[in-house]
Structure 1
């Protein structure tokens, strides 16, 4: 009964326009009061300290700072300039730059919205000038942007690991292959669509014969690739923890900015300010969600949920399909990190009961969050893309995203029936 009251209150607060952090925090405190009375509130101090002193969470501001320095140095422009000459002759032309650029930027940004915004400000106006179909251009960017939370280092994976006590390194490894496969699926769809309907991407049919400066392309792309290899390689190789790798990445980002001669005091100040705001937002969500997780643990709702599923006689596949529908609906009105922070502590006992690998489920739930970011009316990536291109409406973005949305749904089923897509690489690295 208490959980029904609290969840109803939480949804009502979110729909009222209250910040997700405040909605979760208020609901969590009321939840504790309902199950333990005033005395239960004494635990808030211990829970608050437990969430604040986590060494793991210190990786978040470091990865955010690394991305902000690179973004301030003009990395998105360089990525676009470096990638587009190499792939513009493919069917679909510069549309592939959206996907590949987002995939590479995702490997340093840790989030979807920054990835979509960084590439969108550069790519979309250029595609509009060259006569590319607006819906397909916006859809490819929005879909590519969602890779920001799947391709490591992912802030969403770090938050998930906090609530499941799983290895961040293994979660990062598990996200690599699904991220690459999704990126290739997006590109395959673009190529097929452009081949069947050349008018959607007219620019690639009349590519200039101007000689490509491969040296300049390498200079624009190679430093970022080296940084990605160093950061992720240090984690996968057991040389550095994610937090230490974040520090290494930040130092590397400064070197790259200096190499591009774009590192200034103003860029550093802006990067620090944005890092404080973004990290504070994420860590506040984690803080209030830890209180909510404490309340759900004390109430035993997770164990009750296990008993309920077992009484229904649901198979593992039925449970996973149910999760797909559940998160699809939840994504209509809740932000991704909030979805994970609220639901994972409740669902985790069910995962254990069904024998579902928590590393695999981390990838699964992150892909479902990707769907949520593309789902109206709250899908944050839809609004990010619309805001970076004045010529397009939110309705056109939604229509452009729909085919990519269906690709993600199809990939979810592929992941369910072939779990090694996510687990093969972690097992390989461990062995």
Structure 2
């Protein structure tokens, strides 16, 4: 029981440091130093240097800046301008009409950026003014964008899945493949909700704007999206087929992204430099957090707190489903105050032993964790997608959160579905290498 109080004390201290505005990496490192100094006999300096070095030389981590760079390049290309015209002809006669461009656009861009915030910003800059001008319901414009942008966390190549894979020593390739079906499922849930809502609320959808286009004309309108779709299929297909590792496919993706940007006429010295600097800043921030988290994980192992917590959880005789319900509430609460990557690196060292002790597959748990973290992206007070959309529209953040509530519930239903039917996550990874 003493270990439980120790862990609570460290958790309160960590939240206090974060609440005071200290960087996440510094907060994690500080808690690791305190736990080693007071609750173990291990030299702090030696452990710190070893943990930082081992975390920074991980080969799997090399894929992270590559995928970030690919997304940064395409973020500055003309993709967002071309996406609306490329998707619109295919959804003009579907209930909900052009609202589906938010869902499909976010799904496509999520597969090339790996970032939820970048997806919201890119698609939002294009869709919000256009859909507003055409007279679509404002809450649905905001809700579809906020909810669908969270797909950037799940649809591969996902930055947060790379972070989880490095932190837990899981195969990044298998994690990427495991995220495909849940990502498609979420897009179908969002699209189904939009269709039902539009049938029940026809006044929120403008009439008379559907064009009668032949199949060939639709393909001609969507021609600018074909290279991007081939890029996505190539990157993910090479991983799924075992032709390339995530790092190798990321390198190819970066080269093709530059080629697409150059062919589209949006590559210049300024865009190249800004994409490169954006990559360096984001990659450094994530790598720094991972080093702090690795040191905290090492510190926790020396103190024995995770082992004691896992033992204590086992004494409660919680079923796996009850444990998942408790963890879901915990992650949603934590996600109200921290970004998704911080939630993952903060919790995996303590949570994973409990999960494995309960007989839950760590691969499945990674996808579950990312989907739950998706919910936290659209919950105040620290819902990053809400902040991005507020910056684009100037609307009150509570109004945006209210508009995103149905999509929060849909993501929650996705958690229930993968719990009831775990094969949604595990089927494709189980086929790899066959």
What band does the TM-score fall into relative to the shorter chain?
over 0.9
Q: Indicate the residue corresponding to 1:418 in structure 2.
A: 421
SS of the residue corresponding to residue 375 of structure 1 reads coil
TM superposition shift of 1:329:
0.9
Matched, 1:41 2:45: yes
Q: CA deviation at 1:29?
A: 2.0
Within 1, Cα distance between the matches of 2:176 and 2:144? Answer: 24
2:313 aligned with 1:312: no
1:294 paired with 2:298, answer yes
Offset of 1:35 from its aligned partner? 2.0
The alpha carbon displacement at 1:283 in A equals 1.1
Q: C-alpha displacement at 1:41, in angstroms?
A: 2.8
- What does residue 206 of structure 1 align with? 208
Match of 2:121 in 1: 117
Correspondence 1:262 to 2:266: yes
Question: Do 1:57 and 1:158's aligned partners in 2 also have CA atoms closer than 8 Å?
Answer: yes
Structure 2 gap segments, 5+ residues each: none
Q: Report the TM-score, using the length of structure 2 for normalisation.
A: 0.95
- Shift, 1:215, TM fit: 4.5
1:226 is aligned to 2:226: no
CA distance in 2, matches of 1:126, 1:18: 40
Matches within 5 A, 1:397-416: 397-416=400-419
Look up the SS of the partner of 2:97 in the other structure: coil
- Contact kept in structure 2, 1:89 and 1:207, CA below 8 Å: no
Over residues 300-330 of structure 1, what are the superposed CA-to-partner deviations in whole Å (9 max), with x where a residue is unaligned? 2221122111111111111111111111111
Q: Could you tell me whether the CA contact under 8 Å between 1:120 and 1:389 is conserved in 2?
A: no
2:77 corresponds to 1:61: no
2:248 is matched with 244
Listed as ranges, the matches of 1:31-430 within 5 Å are 31-36=35-40, 39-202=43-206, 205-207=207-209, 209=211, 211=213, 213-390=217-394, 392-430=395-433
Query: Which portions of structure 1, spanning 4 or more consecutive aligned residues, are displaced by more than 6 angstroms?
Result: none
Contact kept, 8 Å, 2:33 with 2:44, in 1: the verdict is no
The answer to whether the Cα contact below 8 Å between 2:85 and 2:222 also exists between their aligned partners in 1 is no
Asked if the contact 1:62–1:247 (Cα under 8 Å) also holds between the matched residues in 2, the reply is: yes
Partners of 1:131 and 1:16 lie apart in 2 by 44
Q: Deviations over 1:158-193 (max 9, x none)?
A: 111112211111101110000000001001000110
d(CA) in 2 for partners of 1:109, 1:209: 31
Contact 2:241 2:433 in 1 (8 A): no
- Pairwise CA RMSD: 1.5
Deviations along 1:354-389, one digit per CA (max 9) or x if unpaired, are 111111000000001001111111111111111112
CA distances 1:216-261 after superposition (whole Å, capped 9, x unpaired): 4332211011001111111111111111111000001011112212
Q: Secondary structure at the match of 1:207?
A: coil
Structure 1, gaps ≥5 residues long: none
**How big is the shift at 1:285?**
1.1
SS at match of 2:280: helix
Moved more, 285-294 or 216-225: 216-225
* SS class of match (1:206): coil
Equivalents in 1 of 2:145, 2:15: separation in Å?
Answer: 30
Cα gap change, 1:72 to 1:311, in 2 (>3 Å) = same
Q: How many residue pairs are counted as aligned between the two chains? A: 428
Contact in 2 for aligned 1:125/1:389 (Cα 8 Å): no
CA shift in 2, pair 1:217/1:298, >3 Å: farther
TM-aligned CA deviation for residue 79 of structure 1:
1.5
1:97 to partner: Cα distance: 0.4
Q: In the alignment, is the contact (CA less than 8 A) between 1:156 and 1:337 conserved in 2?
A: yes
